[in-house]
């Protein structure tokens, strides 16, 4: 779950929400930053894999990874967008209530 289970601002126990304190709404930046970083990494990989020139010839046991690049790009793109949405919601929730 979280590194520390006690909020550094209000001192209450963090149980349900691990990115933003439920009571004082402080954003835990050391936990939110990896969501931004990994979301961007996933989107960069998705962009790279979707822009590769893939020739859809189906050899028997040929280059299967080349045929899988568009599928992997779509999956990694969705994962990256979801991670950025989670980080954005946590940031907006923490910044809106000070």
Residue boundaries of the structural domains of the chain: 29-96
Top-confidence residue, 7 or 51: 51
Instruction: Give the pLDDT mean for 79-96.
Output: 89
17: which DSSP letter? -
Out of 13-22, 27-36, 67-76, pick the least confident.
Answer: 13-22
Q: How far is CA 3 from CA 17, 19, 26, 30, 41, in A?
A: 13, 11, 15, 9, 23
Percent of the chain with pLDDT over 90: 27
Task: Write down the pTM of the prediction.
Answer: 0.73
Instruction: Give the pLDDT mean for 78-98.
Output: 87
Residue 6: phi and psi, rounded to 5, are -125, 135
pLDDT of residue 65: 67
Residues 37-57: pLDDT tens digits? 999 999 999 998 888 765 555
pLDDT of residue 44: 94
Residue 74 CA to residue 90 CA, distance in Å, equals: 25
């Amino acid at each position: 779950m979280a590194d520390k289970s006690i909020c550094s601002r209000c001192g209450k126990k963090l149980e349900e929400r691990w990115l933003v304190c439920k009571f004082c709404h402080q954003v835990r930046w050391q936990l939110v930053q990896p969501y931004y970083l990994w979301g961007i990494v996933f989107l960069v990989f998705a962009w790279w894999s979707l822009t590769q020139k893939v020739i859809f010839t189906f050899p028997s046991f040929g280059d299967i990874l080349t045929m899988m690049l568009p599928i992997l790009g779509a999956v990694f793109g969705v994962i990256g967008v979801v991670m950025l949405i989670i980080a954005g919601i946590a940031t907006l929730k923490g910044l809106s209530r000070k």
